[in-house]
Structure 1
Amino acid sequence: MNWDDFAKWGAKFADWAKSYHETIRDRPVRAQVAPGEVFNALPVTPPDTGTDMEEIFADFERIVMPGITHWQHPRFFAYFPTNATPPTVLADYMIANLSAQCMLWQTSPAATEMETRVLDWLRQGMGLPEGFHGVIQDSASGATLAAVLTMREKALGWAGNIEGLPGQKPLRIYASSEVHTSIDRAIWISGIGQDNLIRIPIAGAQRGMDPAALDAAIRADLDAGMVPAGVILCVGGTGTGATDPIADCIAVAKKHGLYVHVDAAWAGNAMICPEFRPLWDGVEHADSLVFNPYKWIGGQFDGSVHFVRSPEDLTRTLAISPEYLKTHGKDGIINYSEWSVPLGRRFRALKLWFLIRSYGLDGLRGRIRNHVAWSRELHDRLAREPDFEIVTPPMWSLWTFRYAPEGAEDLDALNLRLVNAINDDGRIYLTQTRVDGALAIRFQAGHFDATREDVMMAYDVICEIARGLR
């Protein structure tokens, strides 16, 4: 393909994208293929000669599209969405076209300086104080790993990267049972070890960490000669929207001199709306926090916003500067590769710049408020149905329920049948979780272009298919 062909196909791809989003409601939300179907449709050996784009695109439609679960579907109520908005799709197009490697200021000054400015816009929009500084990580997992590594280094007096962990006293990290599994992975990768991730009991309707139990666990570890290193708090956990009492837990952590990281990967988006901020009161005293703009405000995967109070601690943990990565003759610059685990960096800030300028914070706030209101309306309707029970109440736009008709014996099996039948039906997509050991079905609304009608359709589908199981 040459650049003349590229221009022709670029126009065709744009038309295809427009049609895809305009007709997406006609498609089943979850892919309906059987395991191995796509794999077996692909040739066993690679082509030795080039293929015409007409044939490649025809095969894309024939082979790829049937195997796609449509994360851009307005009735995607599973997990959390990865919203693709028109301005961010165009921005991603430009990011790919420029293909800039934005690891250093000098390798693309615009990328570095835009990242600094746009993340400060988000800091202001979320009501965070000026003491926070932002960096875009590849994912919330990457941000959490960076936070855990910083906890490790601070607790070891900055000796871990040099001396390693053998011979050191065991480090301890504290989190509730509701945190995302990315925390477990960060503990593994950092070398701290799964046995040193201490699960603190939860309490209350928000299923948050018990501050008194946190304090007792830290004291017990100190008495046992271990080294408490940090606390990871949760705002809007994936399973049920669990949210720790941030202020009280940070007060305990700071009393013991521990680093605090807040995982608000989904619910952090809602904090651009002032009325939701009481749910994370005290967050201004955290050492770092992360949220994923693509999960709610349309920031387009990938790219997670990681705010830190002390960039110096982060760069002391992660920065390494051989001569070929040094920028000479320039003062006051930021090299964001020193704030991240990967050296390579895409121009992700461009997506956020296009997004915020296109919709404004008020436009983004309106969508979040609608999703919360519609989700709670659906919750109230289903709660009035005699065969259903609410398991956990709404946290923002996320809640869980269970089908529990009179006389049913194995509710776990019944609800697993229900969620599978709903997803096989294709009109909506839901996922399950476990609450206190029992299976429950999750619902969350968060697709950028969802309407009230999309959300209310879930009521009809859930009730229809549940009663069909009898």
Structure 2
Amino acid sequence: MRVCVSLICSMLCTTRIVRVRLEKLSYFLNKFEALWFMHNLDILLFSLIQPGYLHNLLPDSAPDHPDTLEQVLEDVKTKILPGVTHWQSPSFFAFYPSNSSVAGFLGDILSTGLGIVGFSWITSPAATELEIIVLDWLAKLLNLPEQFLSEGNGGGVIQGSASESVHVAMTAARDKVLRRVGKNALGKLVVYSSDQTHSSLQKACQIAGIHPENCRVLKADSSTNYTLRPELLQEAVSRDLEAGLIPFFLGANVGTTSSGAVDPLASLGKIANRNEMWFHVDAAYAGSACICPEYRQYIDGVETADSFNMNAHKWLLTNFDCSLLWVKDQSTLTEAFSTNPEYLQNKASQANLVVDYKDWQIALSRRFRSLKLWMVLRLYGAETLKNYIRNHIKLATVFEQLVSQDPNFEVITPRIFSLVCFRMVPVDNDEKKCNDRNRELLEAVNSSGKLFIIHTVSTNNSLSLSFFCSSFILVGNVLIYIYRFASETGSLGENLFTFFHRSAIDRGEAHKRGMEGYPGGGIKLASQVNTMKKYDIMNKNKISLPIWFGFVVVNYV
């Protein structure tokens, strides 16, 4: 990182004072990052501060004169960081991940230092062309159909989030169908999705002007692991056609937020195609796993889709934000979003020789996001990324097995990727009491500040806990088992964890050999797992938490 910032200093800094300040900042960041990687297990990952805490620590107005860099960084350490939830902590199991990496971090530094606003090709040709190239690279890794590649009518674009991707897709779909049936038909347009679909689809409907009564949220089938049944979709479409409405958009999922469910894309796509509906596939989380040949089956049927998105910033070691959207026909985007005022016109654009990504998105301005994705692909390589994902899935399998072996807990849905949904078993078949117990358990775990998990509620109103095993620290095959609660709460008078620290040199050598880890590595359960006692995490409510719940598997590379 120091080399990277020094390079930017030499290229961009014209005064000695700026060089000195940047070099100091580079030194601090380098030191801070190194300390964080070595001591992140000691950091309270889930902030326990109260709302509004920062207003009491910072002045009411900006300073008239500059503070020193040391003063600012001290405030970062003592005032800002205590209010940060550490998403990169190995104990962060809430939400789908927001992966980071050294390669992505360096790409972000270069991009920010260059300060490019690449809304059109002419504003920075390399930014546009690199984005086209890396999106094609990823499409080929996913084995997407050729129509999604830039060589034909389709292509890819980097959006800020999966929410933006679905907003773009729905707006393009709306304009496309209105060109066919007339603008006055907006009130007749109907959108379909399952009740497991991300809330961003609902927001996209609001933005696109779709009437709330025309948003069909179909109940997912618990017997098929909460997927959308094609026959249920067909019934809904048929009813709407008979009522004189216009089905125009179908949203399907590969890896839902609540259960990791995968909708049957091929069957749903046939219904969408037959009824001239735009078919969008949201694979924000699980799309990354599909670069592994053994998981590619979960996007079978994507050839029937009009658009497909996945988040490289979730599970592909590319810092937020970096959401990848592919479309079969790029003209559907440009016809919906193209603007061409005089001050943006240039010969290359007017001759249709180039791509202007401003016409593929909602905003005009855009960051040079492709640089960090390119650096991740270059510095790690496809095989390393595949093994990184496989290892997370192996670790989730371990956790799933531990849950299944405990008579007090149950797995709610079969695990497909790295999400495990589980809960404490009902007592006397009382679902309400079971929900209350699991909610208390959730609050007890999170109030410790040592682990962070979330919950979800299924279609039958059962509350379960979600364990997302996808932290970027959880890579390789050097496993560290940390039984944090038992040792730190003092509920047992003995240290019940094994904590293997690897030195910086060891980590450097492992990194040189790649993320596959140390020789002789492999998933090895610590023998303590099978002998751990249970302890009360909330004595007043007599909630007992098995010791395996506190285990964290970490590898330092």
TM-score class, shorter-chain normalisation, is over 0.9
- Is 1:142 matched with 2:142? no
Q: Deviation per CA, 1:338-362, whole angstroms, max 9, x where unpaired?
A: 1111110100000100000011010
Deviation at 1:95, TM superposition (A): 0.9
- Partners of 1:316 and 1:136 lie apart in 2 by 18
Residue 455 of structure 2, aligned match among 432, 441, 451: 432
**Alpha-carbon contact 2:227-2:262 (below 8 Å) kept:** yes
1:288 aligns with 2:312: no
Bigger shift: residues 73-82 or 320-329: 320-329
The equivalent of 1:112 in structure 2 is: 128
Which amino acid in the other structure matches residue 150 of structure 1? A
Amino acid in the other structure paired with 2:439: L
SS in 2 for 1:442: strand
Q: Match for 1:156 among 178, 186, 190?
A: 178
Identify the match of residue 377 of structure 2 among 356, 361, 369. 356
User: 2:472 is matched with which residue?
Assistant: 448
In the aligned structure 2, how far is the partner of 1:459 from the partner of 1:408? 29
Q: Is the 8 A contact 1:234 1:242 kept in 2?
A: yes
1:43-442 matched pairs, under 5 angstroms: 43-132=59-148, 133-157=155-179, 168-203=186-221, 204-329=223-348, 331-404=352-425, 406=427, 410-436=433-459, 437-442=461-466
Structure 1: segments with no counterpart, 5+ residues:
none
In structure 1, the residue corresponding to 2:309 is in which secondary structure? strand
Do the aligned partners of 2:191 and 2:248 also contact (CA within 8 Å) in 1?
yes
Instruction: Tell me, in whole angstroms, the C-alpha distance in 1 between the residues paired with 2:429 and 2:214.
Output: 41
Q: Would you say the 8 A contact 1:389–1:404 is kept in 2?
A: yes
The residue identity in structure 2 corresponding to 1:58 is E
Deviation at 1:34, TM superposition (A): 2.2
Instruction: Give the match's secondary structure for 1:209.
Output: coil
Cα gap change, 1:445/1:328 in structure 2, threshold over 3 Å: closer, same or farther?
A: same
Q: Deviations over 1:45-103 (max 9, x none)?
A: 33222211111111111101111110011221110111110011111111111110000
Cα 1:158/1:352, change in 2 over 3 Å? farther
3-state SS in 2 of match to 1:276: helix
After superposition, the C-alpha distances for 1:357-404 in whole angstroms (9 at most, x for unaligned) are 011010000011011111011111111111112112212111211113
With structure 1 as the length reference, what TM-score do the two structures score?
0.94
Partner Cα separation in structure 1 for residue 294 and residue 482 of structure 2: 24
What is the CA-CA distance between 1:459 and the residue it aligns to? 11
Judged with a 3 Å threshold, the aligned counterparts in structure 2 of structure 1 residues 459 and 318 are, in CA distance, closer, same or farther, namely farther
From the superposition, tell whether residues 375 and 185 of structure 1 become closer, same or farther in structure 2 (CA, over 3 Å): same
Counterpart of 2:32 (choices 13, 16, 19) is 16
C-alpha contact (below 8 Å) 1:386/1:405 kept by paired residues: no
The answer (yes or no) to whether the contact 2:186–2:210 under 8 Å persists in 1 is: no
Q: Deviations over 1:240-295 (max 9, x none)?
A: 11221110000111111111000110000101101112122111221001110111
One-letter identity of the residue aligned with 1:121: W
Q: Is the 8 A contact 2:93 2:467 kept in 1?
A: yes
Higher Cα Rg: structure 1 or 2? 2
Structure 1 CA distance for aligned equivalents of residues 252 and 71 of structure 2: 50
Q: Structure 1, residues 310-354: CA drift from partner, whole Å, max 9, x if none?
A: 001111111111122122156521001111111101000001000
SS at match of 1:251: helix
What is the CA–CA distance in structure 1 between the aligned matches of 2:483 and 2:307, rounded to whole Å? 39
Q: Quick one: distance in 2 between partners of 1:109 and 1:285?
A: 32
Percent identical = 33
Cα offset for 1:438? Answer: 1.6
Match of 2:529 in 1: none
* Superposition deviation, residue 43 in structure 1: 1.6
Quick check: 1:314–1:339 contact (8 Å CA) kept in 2? yes
CA contact (8 A) 1:378 1:455 kept: no
Compute the displacement of 1:405 (Å). 6.3
| Bigger Cα displacement from structure 2, 345-354 vs 199-208 | 199-208
* Structure 1 CA distance for aligned equivalents of residues 76 and 211 of structure 2: 43
Q: C-alpha displacement at 1:2, in angstroms?
A: 2.6
Structure 2 CA distance for aligned equivalents of residues 288 and 454 of structure 1? 40
Question: What secondary structure sits across from 1:347 in the alignment?
Answer: coil
- CA distance in 2 between counterparts of 1:22 and 1:159 reads 61
Structure 2 runs not aligned, ≥5 long = 1-16, 149-154, 488-531, 543-557
Which shows bigger deviation, 403-412 or 235-244? 403-412
Judge which range, 273-282 or 402-411, deviates more.
402-411
Rounded to whole Å, the distance in 2 between the matches of 1:67 and 1:465 is: 28
1:7 equivalent in structure 2: 23
Would the aligned equivalents of 1:206 and 1:244 in 2 still touch at CA under 8 Å?
no
Q: Secondary structure at the match of 2:267?
A: helix
- Cα displacement string for residues 205-246 of structure 1 (whole angstroms, at most 9, x for unaligned residues): 331111111111111111111111110101101111122111
SS of the residue aligned with 2:413?
strand
Structure 1 residues 168 and 354, CA, compared in 2 at 3 Å: closer, same or farther? closer
Change (3 A) 1:65 1:309: same
Does 1 or 2 have the higher relative contact order (CA < 8 Å, sep 6+)? 1
Whole-angstrom CA distance in 2 between matches of 1:464 and 1:158: 65
Contact 2:486 2:535 in 1 (8 A): yes
Contact between 1:75 and 1:455, CA under 8 Å: does it hold in 2?
A: no
Report if aligned partners of 1:100, 1:347 keep a CA contact under 8 Å in 2.
yes
Instruction: Name the counterpart of 2:519.
Output: none
Contact 2:273–2:304 (Cα < 8 Å) also in 1: no
CA distance in 1, matches of 2:192, 2:164: 18
In 2, are the aligned partners of 1:75 and 1:450 still within 8 Å (CA)?
Answer: no
Alignment check: 8 A CA contact 1:401 1:440 kept: yes
SS in 2 for 1:394: coil
Structure 2 CA distance for partners of 1:466 and 1:441, relative to 1, 3 Å: farther
